[in-house]
Amino acid sequence: MYDDFMEVQYGLQCLSDAYLKSETGKKFQSVLNHLFAGLRPEIEQLFDRCQIHLRTDTYFMCVSEHKLAKVLQMISTMGR
């Protein structure tokens, strides 16, 4: 669970750094400013409000494919 939280936190930090510190992020901010007055701060505020949900309501799942015989063998040895 903690690892999942840290993965989400790391992703949000990368997104923030790209948006605020990179040349591409600064160009994107400029485009938002140019499209519609007040759009950029509105999007930023919306994203800021959503971050708590991104941190707490994001789930990871790992799926693997195994042959049935292997799965049955794994299950039968779990209780030992």
Q: What three-state secondary structure class fits 1? A: coil
Is pTM beyond 0.75? Reply is no
DSSP annotation of 80: -
What is the DSSP code string of 21-71?
Answer: HSHHHHHHHHHHHHHSTTHHHHHHHHHHHHHHHHHHS----------HHHH
Q: Which residue ranges make up each domain of the chain?
A: 2-78
Q: Which pLDDT tens digit goes with each residue over 23-53?
A: 999 999 999 999 888 999 999 999 999 988 8
For 6-15, 30-39, 60-69, which range has the lowest pLDDT when averaged over its residues? 60-69
